[in-house]
Structure 1
Amino acid sequence: MKHLAAYLLLSLGGKAAPTAKDVKTVLESVGIEADDERLSTLISELKGKDLQELIAEGSTKLASVPSGGAGGAAPAAGGAAAAGGAAEEKEEEKKEEEKEESDEDMGFGLFD
């Protein structure tokens, strides 16, 4: 992915057909060592192809992949638990306040 990301950055920067050397330069500038085998495969696969068309084609393929499901249930349950926890905290605060008030006079008043 890092090789592809560097390639795409170079393309966005105006380089029509980035070379392996260009991609290596970008990766090395951020402290990443390029894998020559993967890089050569990437360059050969993308050689002579229009990136905009490839991205559009990939987007249509991804649209057919299901991405929904039961994933929404977990956050909802977490939200309910958080709400319940907040109610418990309020009750504890009230109990503590009552306890503090009763402890203030220690059974007698200053001016009794």
Structure 2
Amino acid sequence: MKYLAAYLLLQQGGNAAPKAADITALLATVGIESEAERITTLIAELANKNVEELIAEGTSKLASVPAGGAAAPAAGAPAAGAAEEKKEEKKEEAKEESDDDMGFGLFD
């Protein structure tokens, strides 16, 4: 991921086709050691490709991935009721705990 980020940063800086030495030098400025094999693989994969198009393609693929917590309404209904009961129990416990301090706060 750091190699891809360096590649994209160099492109944003005006270097249309960053080379391995460019990526290595950029990473060295922030104290990151680089692996030549990974950089070579990255450059080979991105050769002759438009980065903006790759990002747009990846974004469209991510849009089709379901996000967590998207359960069916019927399955989520009992869970919602249980969650409300837990909240009420916590509120009651909080009231009991506040009585134990006898009105004195930690920083009063």
Q: Same fold (TM over 0.5)?
A: yes
SS at match of 1:49: coil
CA offsets per residue over residues 57-111 of structure 1, 9 Å max, x none?
00011111111227xx8xxx6x949x63643442223xx249xxxxxxxxxxxxx
2 CA distance for matches of 1:86 and 1:46? 57
**Cα distance change on mapping 1:45 and 1:90 into 2, 3 Å:** same
Matched to 2:12, the amino acid is L
In our comparison, the structure showing a higher alpha carbon Rg is 1
Q: Does 1:14 align with 2:14?
A: yes
Q: 1:23 to 1:80 in 2, by over 3 A?
A: farther
Q: Which amino acid aligns with 2:66?
A: P
Aligned equivalent of 2:28: 28
Give the match for residue 95 of structure 2.
87
State the identity as a percent: 55
Q: Take 1:51 and 1:3, find their aligned partners in 2: how far apart are those partners?
A: 14
1:62 aligns with 2:70: no
TM-score by structure 1 length? 0.68
Confirm whether residue 2 of structure 1 aligns to residue 5 of structure 2. Answer: no
Match of 2:75 in 1: none
Q: What TM-score, normalized by structure 2, do the two folds share? A: 0.70
For structure 1, the 5+ residue unaligned runs are 99-112
Tell me the equivalent position of 2:76. Answer: none
Residues 1:97 and 1:47: Cα distance change in structure 2 (over 3 Å): closer
2-structure distance, mates of 1:97, 1:68: 42
Backbone CA RMSD of aligned residues: 2.6
Equivalent in the alignment of 1:49: 49
